[in-house]
Structure 1
Amino acid sequence: MSTKRFYITLVFALLLSCFAVTAQGNKQKELEAQLQQKRKELKELNALLFSNKKQKKSVITLIEDLTYKVRVRKNLIKITNEQANLLTREINGNQKEITSLRTQLQELKDDYAAMLVKSYKSKSEQSKVMFLLSSDNFKQAYKRLQYIKQYANYQKEQGVAIKTKTKQLQDLNIQLSKQKEDKQKLIEENRSEKRQLEKELKDREVLMASIKSDMGKFSAQIKKKKQEADRLDREIDRLIKLAIAASNKKAGKTTSTGKFVLTPEAKKLAVNFEANKGKLGWPVSRGVIKSKFGKGRSLTDNSIEVNNSGIKIAAEKRAEVKSVFKGKVSSITIVKNANAAIIIRHGNYLSIYYNLSKIYVKTGDKIETGQVIGEVFSNKTTGESLLDFRIYKNDQKLNPELWLAKY
């Protein structure tokens, strides 16, 4: 193999290896970030929902909490499986690369050894001079001189190539050893999580069996909660429409568009709010998202479909509720047979905080980011402290989880 061809092959192989390593490295980082998030979520979930064994909870709430915990743990196990599988592919790839590098290194060493022998046999300066003097003409002598220089350079290049390959092989061996350690840790964690999952599934079975005879009654309770949620949705939709109409009328726009007509100040506020997507502070100091945005299944009865207009955050008992961004209190409402809700306007965006037992602000108040606006209602019957949190753009429902910072 010529020197030029060897280096082209080496560079091409290194580029391909770099692309593959970068892609796999990015995937591992992404999975590791997801894993850390799930670990934190489980930790918060245990602290908020399972640490106080003396706290009385309804069976339905216990089942919901356990079902949610099972879902989080299943996701955690899924992520560790993906990480382990990716590491297996990386380990296999590195082992093949190590085998290839060893072969290349041996070829380089053999070639270098042969060169040294040849160089030793013709190493004397006299033989080089004789080689030049025996030329038929100046042109041939010049070519022979260039050949001698090229051969010397080739020897140096071969030496550098051997060092490069040796270092590459050493680095890969270190990387491979680290990957094997990481994989073993993931396997052990996975086994531990699976054992815990089996226990939680058994606990859930026992609870489900305890309400089996009264499932009709509990299903009726779930449906009633769904009806209450629908009533809340209608009330919030009505309040938002009123707010849009009142704001636009004040601005001299009477045509109904379903959107806020923004003043320069309100437009600037909306732009700032939008720029903070994925970075907004949480409305409670500690919490876990127990119920996600959009369509899903009831945590208790899988046959019942739910469609959440926001997210439900399990918080500490009587937790303080904070505004996620600066704005102005658009309205405060108390839904029939339910608790209070505060709507804060941020330009053409709205953040909504429902299920409050105490309210510390009034309609028209200017609010700062992180300002305490109320307190979460703690249900003595169910043992829950749930904040219903929503975000709208005009009258369009958005997924609040995408707007909050990762904790």
Structure 2
Amino acid sequence: MQGQTKKELEKRQKKLKKEIALVNNLLFKEIKKEKNVLEDLKDINQKISIRQNLINTINAEAKILSKQIAINEQKVIKLKKELAVLKADYASMIFKSYKSRSQQSKIMFLLSSDNFYQAYKRLEYMKQYTSFRKKQGEEIVTQTKTVAAIIDSLTLQKQVKDTLILSEKEQQQKIELDKTSKEKLISIIKKNEKKYKRDLKKKIKEEKRVSEKIDKIIKEAIARANKKVKNKPKTPKKNEFILSPEAKALATKFESNKGKLPWPLEEGLITRRFGRQAHPTFPGITLNSTGLHFTTKKDSDAKTIFNGKVLNILVTSEGRKNVLIQHGNYITSYNNLEKLYVKKGDVVSTGQSIGKIFTDKVSGKTKLIFVLYKNTTKLNPSSWILRR
């Protein structure tokens, strides 16, 4: 954060405040029918983490302001010294001018010249002296205004810094309240640790089973598609699509939009990242996230992130749907839908609603699991979608 400018830090602070509002709205607004302490603990940890990032950002911004205040204070000291010298010189010059005027007039000074050339030189000197006096007077006015402007800026900077300090204290107090709630949840978990571990392992096992099923479907889809290709390469790569010129162009366009692709929903919050990660509560248990987990508002739709074709639709034993969309040799997976607006074989466009995201009646949460593949290789979606 040290290399960031004040403007960048202000932008980051706004983003984090918006994220905290989303966390409160999406994770803590719904009244839960049944307590899920592991889920609640994860949510509180996420809120604490965002608040801590906000505090770090506020502190970084306050440090920049402190440096600017110190620089401006030094400028004021330097300018005041220069102004004092200017005023002293100007006062001396005015005094000398007054004394010389009392001794002899300008006309007498000119008439007392020995010759015309000397008179001309004296006239030029008088003009230059008058001009210099005027210029020095103007410089004093300018310097005075500059000092006043910097003092005004200093006052404003100090007010902003005071506001930042108050904001940091407020966030710190909220973190302390969240930590108290966290401690209560941890004590509940410790009482029934074996049960929670057992439930968690069951959930991890189910996630792995679903992931393996999708992998198998994609491999079968690749095999079927490649079987229909007439002019196959001599040594086709295993589990990779043999692309037609149109499919290759689509895949190239998909790749060129890396980092610029839209989110698979209108508004939401990433509540689980991609990849292997240690469980925040139970040491020794590792979560292997195949994609991104989003939490969003009730009645939200999943939206396709790019033009493509519906490759397949999976339905779980609980009735949840998973839509697979093909974009050349890239596949996007939209899991945990309760209602579909598309069917297998449909051509879809970027931003099109493909289904309504399921809302859990017990937790009150609306979650979408989004996975990105290149052939059968899972990619980190965070590197491909827009940063918010």
Task: Find out whether 1:367 has 2:348 as its counterpart.
Answer: yes
Report what 2:45 is aligned to: 67
> Does structure 1 retain, via aligned residues, the 8 Å contact 2:110–2:119?
no
The residue that corresponds to 1:3 in the other structure is: none
Q: Does structure 1 residue 36 correspond to structure 2 residue 14?
A: yes
Conserved? CA contact 2:319–2:338, under 8 Å? no
Asked if 1:222 corresponds to 2:222, the answer is: no
Which secondary structure does the structure 1 equivalent of 2:160 belong to? helix
Of residues 345, 351, 358, the one that matches 2:326 is 345
Q: What SS does structure 1 have at the residue aligned with 2:270?
A: strand
> How far 1:268 sits from its partner (Å)?
5.2
Match of 1:195 among 155, 159, 173: 173
- Change beyond 3 A, Cα 1:164–1:204: same
- In structure 2, do the counterparts of structure 1 residues 176 and 252 end up closer, same or farther at CA, with 3 Å as the change threshold? farther
Distance in 1 of aligned mates of 2:222 and 2:122: 90
Q: Secondary structure at the match of 1:386?
A: strand
Instruction: Look up the match of 1:169.
Output: 147
**Alignment of 1:325 onto 2:303:** no
Contact residue 58 and residue 383 of structure 1 kept, 8 A: no
Residue in 2 that maps onto 1:11: none
C-alpha displacement of 1:204: 1.4
* CA drift at 1:396: 5.3
CA distance 1:378–1:251, change in 2 (3 Å): farther
Q: Is residue 77 of structure 2 the alignment partner of residue 108 of structure 1?
A: no
Moved more, 241-250 or 153-162: 241-250
Q: Quick check: 1:44–1:286 contact (8 Å CA) kept in 2?
A: no
Counterpart amino acid of residue 350 in structure 2: T
Tell me by how many angstroms 1:234 deviates: 4.1
Q: Deviations over 1:75-122 (max 9, x none)?
A: 222222222222222222222222222122222222333333444555
Alignment of 1:6-405 (within 5 A): 27-121=5-99, 125-126=106-107, 129=110, 154-240=132-218, 250=229, 252-254=231-233, 255-256=236-237, 265-266=246-247, 269-270=250-251, 273=254, 276-277=257-258, 279-301=260-282, 303-334=284-315, 339-380=320-361, 382-393=363-374, 397-405=378-386
Report SS of the residue matched to 1:216. helix
Give the whole-Å Cα distance in 1 for the aligned partners of 2:25 and 2:378.
Answer: 31
Q: CA deviation at 1:376?
A: 2.2
Q: Distance in 2 between matches of 1:144 and 1:257?
A: 100
The letter of the residue matching 1:346 is H
Residues 57 and 383, structure 1, Cα contact 8 Å, conserved in 2? no
Cα-to-partner distance string for 1:332-369 (whole Å, 9 max, x where unaligned): 33468895322223345433212223333223211122
C-alpha separation in 1, matches of 2:52 and 2:331 = 34
Normalised by the length of structure 2, the TM-score is: 0.81
Quote the residue 1:7 is aligned against.
none
Shift of 1:129: 4.1
What TM-score results when the alignment is normalised by the length of structure 1?
Answer: 0.78
Unaligned runs of 5+ in 2: none
User: What is the alpha-carbon distance in structure 1 between the residues aligned to residue 224 and residue 214 of structure 2?
Assistant: 15
**C-alpha offsets along residues 210-251 of structure 1, whole Å, 9 cap, x if unaligned?**
121221332233333333444444444555555566666638
Give the match for residue 5 of structure 1. none
The CA distance in 2 between the partners of 1:294 and 1:118, in whole Å, is 83
| Contact 2:241-2:329 within 8 A present in 1 as well | yes
Secondary structure at the residue paired with 2:294? Answer: strand
Distance 1:324 1:104, change over 3 A: same
Which piece of structure 1 moves more, 290-299 or 112-121?
Answer: 112-121
User: Contact 1:245–1:256 at 8 Å: present in 2 too?
Assistant: no
Given that 1:31 and 1:83 are in contact with CA atoms closer than 8 Å, whether structure 2 keeps it comes out as yes
CA contact (8 A) 2:330 2:373 kept: yes
Distance 2:7 2:241 in 1: 41
Deviations along 1:297-321, whole A, 9 cap, x unmatched?
3243355333433211112345321
Contact 1:339 1:355 in 2 (8 A): yes
* SS of equivalent residue, structure 1 residue 211: helix
How many equivalent pairs are there?
Answer: 382
Answer whether contact 1:251 1:261 (CA < 8 A) is retained: no
Distance in 1, matches of 2:253 and 2:131, equals 62
Indicate the structure (1 or 2) with the bigger Cα radius of gyration. Answer: 2
> Which residue type is aligned with residue 113 of structure 1?
A
Structure 1 unaligned regions, length at least 5: 1-23
Give the superposition deviation at 1:31: 1.3
Percent of counterpart pairs with the same letter? 39
